[in-house]
Amino acid sequence: MISPAARQNAEVSVNDQRNPFGSSTAGTEARQAVSIADAVRRCRWIAIDLNATSFGLFMVGPSPDRLVPCFDSAYPDFSLTKSISARDSEEIIRHVRLSTQPRWWLDDSNAAMLEKFGSLSWAASMQPLIDGSAGLAFPVHAERGRCGLVVFAGGEMSVEQDMLYDIHARCFSLFSSVSRIRPGDVGLTRAISRRELECLKLTANGYTSEEIARLLKLSVHTANQYLTQSAQKLNAVSRMQAVAKALRLGLIE
C-alpha cells in the first residue's frame, strides 16, 4: 500500500516538466507524454482523495461547441461521459473558456454536502451535469489555448478550502500531460528540414510564395516545393493546415 504522501511525490515527479512556453521541441515533449491508462490512474488517485465515486476528463474543443470525452472512471468504457456529453453543456463550456474557478452541483437534498460546497470560497454552483448526484468540476487549461474540464462526482465527497487548491493544481498537471499525448504526429516531425520550417514560418507571418522566394533568395518553384514537402511531412492537406499543425506542435513560434 502506498502512502498518500509518497503517491503525491510520485505524481509531482511525473508532472515535473519544463515550461511549455519555452523552446522545448516536439521531441522532448513526446518523452514526457503519458498514456491514457496512466492518466486514468492519476485521476483515480485524485478521486480517492476527494472520496468521489466517479470521475471524467473532457476536452473543450474550439469547434464544435461540446464537451469531448477523453476518459472516465469506467475506462476503457465511457459510461459517465456518455450521459454528460448528451446533455446541454453550453453553460459550462462558456465558463471554461472565460474562467478557471471550480464549479459544484447538487441534485439531491443532501444537507451535509450542501454545507461543504457552500463553504468553499471562489467556487459557485452550476446546473447538474449528472442527475441525482453531487459533484465538482474543475476547468483546466494547457498551452496554446487548450481547454478541458475534470469532473468528480459522488454522494459523500470530502472537500475543504485548502484541499481545493491542491486538487485543482493536480488536475492542471494531469491535463497538461494528457494534452501532450499525440499519437501518430510525433515521429514525422523530426524529418522537416530547416529550410522548410523557414518557409512555413514566413507563410504563418502572412508572406506569399513570391515574397518568400525573394526573402530567401530562392525561385518561386523551390519555395512552393518546400511548402508542399512540409505539408506532406506534417500529414496536412493544405498550406493552411500545415501552418496550423506546425504551430500546434510547437515547431514554429
Partner 1 sequence: MVRGSILTKKNTMTASAALFRTDTVSTRLASRGDLTSFLMELTAEIGADSYMLVAIGHGEVKNDARIVASNWIFDAIELVGRRLIASLAQGPLTTVPGSRPSALVTGEAPCAREFPSGEEAALLDVLGHAEIYSLALNVGRQCFFILMSASQAGQIDQSMLMKAQLKCCYALCQVPQLLADTTTQDPLSDRERECLFWVSEGKTTDEVAVILGVSSNTVNSYITHAIQKFSASNRAMAIATAIRSGII
Interface contacts to partner 1, rule CB under 8 A: 12, 15-22, 62-65, 96-101, 121-122, 139, 141, 143-145, 147, 162, 164-166, 168-174, 176, 203-206, 208, 236-241, 243-244, 247-248, 253
CB of 40 or CB of 168, closer to partner 1: 168
CB of 186 or CB of 247, closer to partner 1: 247
Tell which residue, 66, 111, 72, has the closest CA to residue 88.
66
Say what angle helices 194-204 and 220-233 make with each other, to 10 degrees.
Answer: 100
Cα–Cα separations (whole angstroms), residue 44 to 39, 51, 106, 150: 9, 10, 21, 12
The residues, any chain, with a CB within 8 Å of residue 5's CB and separated by 6 or more, are none
Question: CA 48 to CA 105: how far, in whole Å?
Answer: 19
CB of 133 or CB of 189, closer to partner 1: 189
- Which residues share a beta bridge with 106? 134
Which amino acid would we find at residue 47? A
CB of 195 or CB of 248, closer to partner 1: 248
Asked if 146 contacts 106 with a C-beta cutoff of 8 angstroms, the reply is no
CB of 64 or CB of 183, closer to partner 1: 64
